[in-house]
Amino acid sequence: MMYQAAVFIHLASAIIWVGGSLFLALVLIPVLRRFMPAPGQPSEHPQLPPDLLGTVARRFRWISWVCIVLLVATGLYILPTRYGIGFAEFFTVGGHFVANLQIKVALVAIVIWLSVIHDFIIGPIASRMINDMQAGATPPGYLPLLRKCVVWIARVNVLLMVLILIVAVTMTRGAPV
């Protein structure tokens, strides 16, 4: 019963995290770009909150980090419980499953690292600069580059998340023939 609950939480967390990220990247951001003015320009659509994307992103950030913690915790429970793989086996046992597991863990580590940079370092700095600029401050010359970094980190992260899903499927279902 505990194993099934862990698998359910693991899958639900992956669905929410990846699905939410894909929704932001493929639906919300493109739609908002059509309606939101460039920073520093007046809005033609005053009914839209000026920081709608930032508000949604901050709300989803909290949800995504809960999902990340749940994914790591349940993954650490599932591996020894279902597959008999602990820390030592992760580094010493060979085979298709463990090789794919090592790839998955490496990709997850990269995604978490990029998420920390995006969510807690570069994203908040860019957001503060944009808010300051809307309040009348002169934007620094590197703000466009910083915004591009935020966008590209998010795009790379979404692609890596999809790759993690592909690796996870090949771990349990085998590689496509």
Of 18 and 126, the structure prediction assigns the larger pLDDT to: 18
pLDDT digit string (tens) for 146-168? Answer: 989 998 999 999 999 999 999 99
Among the listed residues 155, 167, 173, the one whose alpha carbon sits nearest the alpha carbon of residue 111: 155
Q: What is the pTM of this model?
A: 0.84
Number of structural domains the chain divides into: 1
Give phi and psi for 138, each to the nearest 5.
Answer: -80, 125
| Residue 110 CB contacts under 8 Å (≥ 6 apart), including other chains | 160
Domain membership of residue 126 as a residue range: 2-173
pLDDT digit string (tens) for 76-92? Answer: 999 999 988 888 888 88
Query: What is the structure's pLDDT at 40?
Result: 57
| Reduced DSSP (H G I as helix, E B as strand, rest coil) percent helix, strand, coil of the chain, to 5 | 80, 0, 20
How many whole angstroms separate alpha carbon 82 and alpha carbon 169?
16
Of 35 and 62, the structure prediction assigns the larger pLDDT to: 62
